[in-house]
Structure formats: C-alpha cells, structure tokens
C-alpha cells in the first residue's frame, strides 16, 4: 500500500501546523521571560534608588550596617523568587512542547507501524524473513524511543528536585542573617 498524494499533503499540512504551534508556544515562553526580566529590572532600579537615598541619609556606622543588612536579606529572597518564577516558566513551556512532540511522535509511530503492517501483508511470497527483520527493527526502534523518553523524564525530575533543594537552601541562607540580627 503506497501513500496517496492527498495523504502526503495532509501529513505535511499537519506537520507545518504542529511546527507553527510549537513556535508559538516557544515565543509565549520567551515573552513571559522578557516580562519577568523587565519587571525584575524595574523593581531593582526602584530599590537601588531607594537604597541610595537611604545611604545618603545615614548618620553613623551602626545605621550603615543595619541598612546594608536590611538590603541584602530581601535581595536573596527576591533572587530565589525570581529563579523559581523563571524555572516555572521554563518548565511550563517545556512541558507544553514535550506534550505536543510526544503526541506527534505517537501519531507518527502509529502510522508508521500501520504502514509496516500493510507492507508486510502485501509482501510477495518468500519475503517473510525480510518482513520479520523489518518488524524487529521497528520494534527495537520503538523500544529505544521509549527508553530515551523515560531517561529524559528522569533527568528532568532530577533537575527539578535539585533546583528545589537549591532554592530551599538559598531561602534558608537568606533568612539566617535576619534571624541573627533580631536575636
């Protein structure tokens, strides 16, 4: 069974739609990151101006130390919050792209398997060995693809766990000086 021109055209159309959909998702993620960076930059600029004004009004060393201490603790917390927000944008965008790609890969795999089955049914007599080898190769490729998907998922989960651990550690480190200053 050969593919008809209509089937080929439909497949190309679907692939182009998928490509544009994925590109749109990627740009949405970039837009969110740009918005986050603009907001963070605006806030940092405002805080720098406020801090500079406060520094100009310092009367003694004790007040300077207290001001510096009060500046750095929120900075660490804001940095951790920024990193969490950035990570959430990246993982959300990545999850959407991965979901779309897995869906398309599943559709392609299913249509390819159907083509292999159809070809095997219509194979001439005496070609059973070649058909068996082809089916075995397709099965091995499918298994390899599933193994790669599992490995990528495990690596992604590990990276997420590491980021959460780093964020928790950074937040705890940021709160430690404040706790010492209050004591």
> Quick one: average pLDDT of 144-149?
73
**Residue 49: is its pLDDT beyond 80?**
yes
CA distance 58 to 166: 35
CA distance 183 to 181: 6
**Which pair of structure tokens corresponds to residue 60?**
């003694």
Extended strands (E) in 1-114: none
**Where do we find the tokens 């805080």?**
47
Q: Residue 38's pLDDT band (boundaries 50, 70, 90)? A: very high
The whole domain housing 78 covers 5-182
pLDDT digits (tens, 9 = 90+) for 73-107: 787 788 888 888 988 888 888 888 888 777 777 77
Query: How many domains in the chain?
Result: 1
pLDDT value of residue 160: 73
**Which pair of structure tokens corresponds to residue 68?**
């510096």
């Amino acid at each position: 069974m050969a593919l008809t021109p209509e089937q080929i055209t439909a497949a190309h159309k679907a692939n182009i739609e998928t490509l544009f959909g994925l590109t749109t998702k990627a740009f949405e993620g970039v837009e969110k990151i740009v918005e986050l960076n603009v907001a963070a930059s605006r806030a940092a600029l405002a805080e720098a101006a406020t801090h500079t004004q406060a520094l100009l009004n310092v009367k003694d060393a004790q007040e300077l130390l207290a001001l510096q201490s009060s500046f750095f603790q929120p900075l660490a917390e804001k940095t951790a919050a920024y990193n969490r927000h950035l990570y959430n944008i990246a993982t959300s965008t990545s999850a959407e792209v991965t979901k779309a790609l897995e869906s398309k890969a599943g559709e392609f795999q299913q249509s390819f398997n159907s083509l292999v089955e159809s070809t095997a049914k219509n194979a001439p007599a005496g070609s059973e060995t070649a058909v068996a080898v082809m089916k075995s190769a397709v099965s091995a490729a499918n298994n390899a693809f599933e193994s790669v998907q599992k490995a990528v998922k495990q690596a992604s989960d590990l990276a997420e766990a590491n980021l959460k651990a780093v964020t928790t550690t950074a937040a705890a480190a940021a709160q430690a000086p404040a706790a010492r200053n209050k004591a």
